[in-house]
């Protein structure tokens, strides 16, 4: 398994270009199941989760080509409506195929994704929504079995604005003629990307004056050509890496308003920024970093996916910062690893208290999840000495070419595999 060796103590400097959004790409790729017409997507990042999604589409019977960031998906005979566990267990978002398959076939068998490192992560909100659309949902031998004589539009209130459930239900409703109204939905920018694709496919999708998502479905949908929105989590991660090393970095090709909360927090903490139409310049500073209290929340609140990279930055603040993780029950696995690098972090239930230290020091650490992995990279960039990060495959799930992008900014990050490479 690949590892990273990070030589710390170098300020990042230069320009980094943001890739297409992983979290928009996954549902948009899956939306191709709603039609037999060609689907062409541009700015598709080369990530493990994207490759897993492409394998899922192939397993379901689609023909897939991926070249230079463009994915072309074509029909290749009849589609299947069951998915092997082997693929689902690699990525929870594989459950997003349920909505499109249910609306196309009135029947789908999807292995239950189960728990993950971040906690239980049930799919009850997805299933309740499918039931409201007319499906019967049962669990048999570890599979969710969805079936319906006929589906019908409905008014559905989500008990929590789940991102995945919103996407799954809007994709399902797009192929059900009539008006489905989704209340208490997620408002993340990735939802707008899925909406844009469904609109191009022929469905009417819009937010009404009460903030409800209205989907007017059609009995058949078309193919699309679409460019995926910039990855706001990758953008934010590089801004945090730049700020943590007190570097001078232009994060280019992003949508700054998608990171409004993070930009406000960075400025409040004393990190100078220049915010353009499609870039953010993180500027050098020599004042102490102010500790802040942040609480993760659905968009436009502080993104849970930026909580771990933010914690790496706050490890160097002047005072005691606080993070309240309000979305996932178990998302502090990076904290003990940061402590191994000299950080002073105490966690209790959903709260982490981070007392800033003058310096982090390189250590042998382990990435336990995607964003927590990037937090260790940030810490390694600031630390004295060398940091060795194991289980880089977590980082590869969601960051395209992280060592290439960081090294172009003056970092020294080396990927190696102890089973293959000599060091
Ligand atoms: C998506 C993102 C992930 C991000 C998360 C929250 C993708 C591929 N992943 O994940 O990066 O961290 O949004 O912004 O887009 N929940 C339930 N029942 C459900 C569904 C969710 O209890 O049926 C709970 C989850 O356990 C979690 C919370 O709701 O505690 C938020 O989950 P959700 O918004 O659904 O996240 P995902 O869509 O899985």
**Active-site residue, 25 included:** no
User: Does 147 share its domain with 38?
Assistant: yes
Residue among 79, 137, 83 at smallest CA distance from 110: 83
User: Does 72 share its domain with 136?
Assistant: yes
Point out the ligand 1 atom lying closest to the alpha carbon of residue 328.
30
User: Does 198 share its domain with 251?
Assistant: no
Q: How far apart are CA 408 and CA 3, in angstroms?
A: 19
Task: Measure 22 CA to ligand 1 centroid, in angstroms.
Answer: 14
Point out the ligand 1 atom lying closest to the alpha carbon of residue 164.
38
CA–centroid distance for 67 within its chain: 22
From first to last of the 423 residues of the chain, give the pLDDT tens digit: 999 999 999 999 999 999 999 999 999 999 999 999 999 999 999 999 999 999 999 999 999 999 999 999 999 989 998 888 888 888 888 999 999 999 999 999 998 876 556 666 789 999 999 999 999 999 888 899 999 999 999 999 999 999 999 999 999 999 999 999 999 999 999 999 999 999 999 999 999 999 999 999 999 999 999 999 999 999 999 999 999 999 999 999 999 999 999 999 999 999 999 999 999 999 999 999 999 999 999 999 999 999 999 999 999 999 999 999 999 988 999 999 999 999 999 999 999 999 999 999 999 999 999 999 999 999 999 999 999 999 999 999 999 999 999 999 999 999 999 888 765
End residue of a domain, out of 227, 257, 280: 227
End residue of a domain, out of 206, 227, 248: 227
User: In this structure, which residue's CA is closest to atom 32 in ligand 1?
Assistant: 162
End residue of a domain, out of 227, 255, 286: 227
Chain position carrying tokens 């909505």: 99
The DSSP result for 227-269, as a single string, is: EPPB-HHHHHHHHHHHHHTT-EEEEES--GGGGHHHHHHHHHT
User: Does 120 share its domain with 255?
Assistant: no
Domain CATH for 392: 3.65.10.10
Please state the pTM of the whole predicted model.
Answer: 0.97
User: Does 294 share its domain with 165?
Assistant: no
Task: Measure 193 CA to ligand 1 centroid, in angstroms.
Answer: 17
Q: SS3 sequence, 119-180?
A: ECCCCHHHHHHHHHCCCEEEEECCEEEEECCCCCCCEEECCCCCHHHHHHHHHHHHCCCEEE
Instruction: Provide the 8-state DSSP code for 361.
Output: B
Distance linking the first and last C-alpha atoms of the chain: 15
- Residue 421: inside a domain: no
Q: What is the pLDDT of residue 91?
A: 85
Number of domains in the chain: 2
Give the residues across from 347 on adjacent strands. Answer: 352
User: In this structure, which residue's CA is closest to atom 22 in ligand 1?
Assistant: 122
User: Does 362 share its domain with 222?
Assistant: no
User: Does 280 share its domain with 382?
Assistant: yes
Degrees (nearest 5) of the Cα angle 290, 295, 298? 135
Residue among 216, 209, 164 at smallest CA distance from 185: 164
User: Does 289 share its domain with 403?
Assistant: yes
Q: Which two tokens stand for residue 238?
A: 């590089």
- Residue 212: inside a domain: yes
Domain span holding position 144: 22-227
User: Does 133 share its domain with 179?
Assistant: yes
- Residue 423: inside a domain: no
Q: What is the pLDDT of residue 115?
A: 53
Contact 126, 109 (CB under 8 A): no
Catalytic residue among 25, 116, 254, 317: 116
Point out the ligand 1 atom lying closest to the alpha carbon of residue 23.
15
Question: Residue 112 in 3-state DSSP?
Answer: coil
Task: Measure 209 CA to ligand 1 centroid, in angstroms.
Answer: 25
User: Does 137 share its domain with 32?
Assistant: yes
The DSSP result for 166-234, as a single string, is: HHHHHHHHHTSSEEEEEES----HHHHHHHHHHHHHT-EEEE-TTSPEEEEE-SS---EEEEPPB-HHH
Task: Measure 288 CA to ligand 1 centroid, in angstroms.
Answer: 35
CA pseudo-torsion sign 333, 336, 341, 346: positive
User: Does 288 share its domain with 193?
Assistant: no
User: Does 14 share its domain with 99?
Assistant: no
With b for 16 or more beta-carbon neighbours within 10 A and e for fewer, the 102-113 pattern comes to bbbbbebbbbbb
């Amino acid at each position: 398994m690949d590892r990273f060796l990070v030589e710390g103590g170098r300020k990042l400097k230069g320009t980094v270009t943001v890739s297409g959004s992983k979290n928009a790409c996954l549902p948009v790729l899956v939306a191709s199941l709603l039609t037999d017409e060609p689907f062409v997507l541009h700015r598709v990042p080369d990530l493990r989760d994207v490759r897993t999604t492409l394998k899922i589409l192939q397993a379901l019977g689609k023909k897939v080509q991926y070249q230079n960031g463009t994915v072309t998906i074509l029909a290749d005979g009849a589609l299947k409506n069951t998915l092997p566990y082997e693929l689902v267990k690699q990525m929870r978002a594989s459950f997003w195929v349920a909505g499109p398959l249910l609306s196309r076939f009135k029947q789908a068998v999807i292995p239950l994704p189960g728990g993950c490192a971040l906690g239980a992560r049930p799919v009850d909100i997805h299933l309740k929504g499918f039931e409201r659309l007319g499906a019967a949902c049962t669990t048999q031998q570890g599979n969710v079995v969805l079936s319906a004589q006929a589906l019908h539009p409905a008014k559905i209130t989500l008990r929590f604005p789940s991102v995945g459930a919103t996407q799954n239900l809007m994709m399902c409703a797009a192929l059900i003629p009539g008006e489905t109204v989704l209340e208490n939905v997620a408002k993340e920018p990735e939802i707008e990307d899925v909406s844009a694709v469904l609109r191009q496919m022929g469905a009417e999708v819009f937010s009404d004056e009460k903030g409800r998502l209205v989907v007017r479905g059609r009995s058949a949908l078309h193919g699309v050509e679409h460019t995926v929105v910039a990855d706001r989590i990758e953008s934010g991660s590089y801004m945090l890496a730049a700020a943590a090393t007190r570097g001078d970095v232009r994060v280019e090709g992003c949508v700054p308003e998608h990171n409004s909360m993070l930009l406000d927090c960075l400025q409040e903490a004393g990190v100078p920024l220049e915010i353009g139409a499609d870039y953010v310049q993180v500027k050098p500073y020599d004042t102490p970093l102010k500790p802040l209290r942040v609480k993760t929340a659905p968009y436009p609140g502080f993104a849970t996916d930026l909580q771990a990279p933010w914690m790496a930055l706050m490890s160097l603040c002047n005072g005691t910062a606080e993070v309240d993780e309000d979305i996932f029950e178990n998302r502090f696995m990076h904290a003990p690893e940061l402590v191994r690098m000299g950080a002073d972090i105490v966690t209790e239930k959903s709260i982490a208290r981070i007392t800033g230290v003058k310096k982090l020091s390189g250590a042998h650490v382990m990435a336990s999840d995607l964003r927590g992995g990037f937090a260790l990279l940030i810490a390694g960039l600031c630390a004295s000495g060398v940091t060795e990060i194991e289980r880089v495959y977590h980082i590869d799930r969601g960051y395209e070419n992280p060592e290439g992008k960081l090294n172009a900014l003056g970092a020294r990050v080396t990927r190696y595999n102890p089973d293959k490479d000599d060091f």
